[in-house]
């Protein structure tokens, strides 16, 4: 009797142990750990802060099972090699600005912004509802990557100038740190564009090796201290009317990911996208006030600079479309969408903003 009772209990406890072990195995199978390479330094809390918040959100949404560890630019790979690192599988995912990779294909610029392109809101409309995301996913697929919008800076400033630009003629021979397509267009206006990594910009401007630099906007620019060595702060940053940053995922890793983790990633990316723009919009006005207190002089680009830049930009796009099939395909669709957005925003948004924004509150 005693022995039978023992066997019965032993059987039960074995069954109980089995029942407990099963979900443990399921848990073990579904724990996923990824590494994320960011292009941005830790000091830029707008950009890298968004990356960190994104990783925390993914973990919370998956009950702690899907952990993504963020690494700042340079920690695993240099900031401008994030796309390559994700493509090669060095890391499972990344956070970057796609216009860093226009050297591979100019069409990558559509994922960030083109000079005289879309504002942050218009970019959202294009990405989520205007065919932009689908078009860009085709481009990224060729690099073994799936991409997600992951933040925006909004419209940027044109940057810091040691001397005033009063007309187009003043751009002749001006040495300016301005990378990418913006730099190519500036070159057509007589500027000598320079590509310098973030840390090298301030000393070059201080020494006068360069005459001007662009960066982002008041909040980020203040941190880098450009106002100490160049007093004229120009607007608008026509080459970045709404710069979008993106999350990249290695396609093979993405396909292995459980569906609910994919949903968590996508949801957290969309949240990051919204929050980054909110952060820039909230932090830029007080930063600009502080800069003006330091003696910074705000200046608008002269009309002839703006007109020449607009003309050169679209000449460059037409030239690129003639030799680059994927650029041509995205450009045609993007251009038609932009045309319609510009018409609509002129009616409802611009008419309101151009009257109300400069008015004194009664």
Residues near Ca ion (CB under 5 A): 156, 214, 240
Please state, in angstroms and rounded to a whole number, the distance separating the CA atoms of residues 35 and 253: 12
What is the separation of C-alpha 27 from the centre of its chain, rounded to a whole number of angstroms? 34
Please give the radius of gyration of the chain, using alpha carbons only, rounded to the nearest integer.
25
Q: What length does the chain have?
A: 362
CA dihedral 125, 131, 134, 137 (to 10 degrees): -70
Closest separation in Å from C-beta 240 to Ca ion:
5
249 within 8 A of 12, measured Cβ to Cβ: no
The secondary element (H helix, E strand) that includes residue 161 is: strand 159-161
Q: How many CB atoms lie within 10 A of CB 127?
A: 23
Closest by alpha carbon to 66, among 74, 55, 76?
55
Query: Which of 156/341 has CB closer to Ca ion?
Result: 156
Q: Using CB atoms within 10 A of its CB, is residue 271 exposed (0-12), middle (13-18) or buried (19+)?
A: middle
**How near is the Cβ of 73 to Ca ion at its closest, in Å?**
15
- Give the angle subtended at the CA of 307 by the CAs of 306 and 312, to the nearest 5°: 100
CB atoms within 10 A of CB 313: 21
Tokens of residue 338, six digits: 């932009």
CA dist., res. 327 & res. 99, Å (int): 13
Q: Are 82 and 95 in contact (CB under 8 A)?
A: yes
Comparison of 132 and 183: residue with beta carbon closer to Ca ion:
183
Residue nearer to Ca ion on the CB measure, 85 or 158: 158
Separation between Cα atoms, residue 146 and residue 159, nearest integer Å: 32
CB of 226 to Ca ion, least distance (A): 12
CB of 238 to Ca ion, least distance (A): 11
The minimum distance between CB 204 and Ca ion, in angstroms, equals: 16
Q: Which is nearer to Ca ion, 211 or 240 (CB)?
A: 240
Element (H, E) at 213: strand 212-213
Closest CA to 353 of 149, 121, 115, 46: 121
Q: Which is nearer to Ca ion, 184 or 214 (CB)?
A: 214
Compare residues 96 and 156 and give the one whose CB is closer to Ca ion.
156
- Min CB(108)–Ca ion separation in Å: 16
Instruction: Please identify, using beta-carbon distances, which residue of 58 and 224 lies nearer to Ca ion.
Output: 224
Instruction: Compute the least distance from the CB of residue 237 to Ca ion, in Å.
Output: 6
Which of 240, 320 has the CB closer to Ca ion? Answer: 240
* Pairing of β 297-300 and β 232-235: parallel
Q: How far is the CB of 23 from Ca ion (least distance, A)?
A: 50
| Comparison of 211 and 214: residue with beta carbon closer to Ca ion | 214
Q: How far is the CB of 135 from Ca ion (least distance, A)?
A: 24
């Amino acid at each position: 009797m005693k022995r039978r009772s023992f066997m019965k209990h032993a059987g039960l406890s074995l069954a109980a142990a089995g029942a407990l072990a099963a979900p443990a195995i399921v848990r073990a199978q579904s724990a996923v750990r990824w590494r994320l390479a960011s292009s941005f330094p830790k000091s830029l809390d707008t950009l890298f802060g968004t990356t960190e918040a994104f990783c925390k959100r993914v973990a919370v949404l998956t009950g702690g099972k899907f952990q993504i560890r963020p690494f700042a630019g340079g920690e695993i790979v240099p900031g401008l090699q994030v796309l390559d690192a994700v493509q090669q599988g060095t890391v499972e995912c990344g956070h970057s600005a796609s216009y860093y990779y226009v050297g591979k294909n100019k069409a990558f610029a559509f994922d960030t912004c083109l000079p005289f392109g879309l504002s942050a809101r218009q970019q959202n409309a294009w990405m989520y509802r205007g065919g932009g995301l689908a078009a860009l996913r085709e481009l990224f697929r060729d690099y073994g990557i799936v991409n997600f919008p992951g933040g925006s800076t909004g419209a940027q400033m044109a940057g810091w100038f040691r001397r005033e630009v009063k007309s187009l003629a003043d751009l002749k021979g001006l040495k300016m740190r301005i990378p990418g397509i913006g730099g190519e267009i500036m070159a057509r206006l007589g500027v000598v564009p320079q590509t310098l990594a973030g840390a090298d910009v301030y000393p070059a401007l201080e020494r006068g090796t360069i005459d001007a630099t662009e960066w982002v906007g008041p909040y980020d620019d203040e941190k880098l201290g450009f106002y100490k060595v160049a007093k004229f702060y120009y607007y608008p940053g026509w080459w970045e009317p709404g710069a979008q940053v993106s999350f990249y995922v290695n396609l093979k890793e993405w396909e292995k990911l459980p569906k609910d983790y994919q949903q968590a990633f996508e949801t957290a990316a969309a949240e990051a996208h919204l929050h980054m723009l909110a952060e820039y919009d909230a932090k830029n006005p007080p930063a600009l006030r502080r800069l003006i207190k330091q003696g910074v002089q705000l200046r608008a680009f002269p009309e002839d600079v703006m007109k020449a830049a607009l003309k050169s930009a679209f000449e460059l796009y037409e030239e690129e479309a003639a030799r680059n099939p994927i650029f041509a395909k995205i450009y045609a669709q993007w251009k038609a969408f932009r045309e319609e957005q510009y018409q609509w925003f002129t009616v409802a948004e611009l008419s309101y903003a151009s009257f109300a924004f400069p008015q004194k509150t009664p």
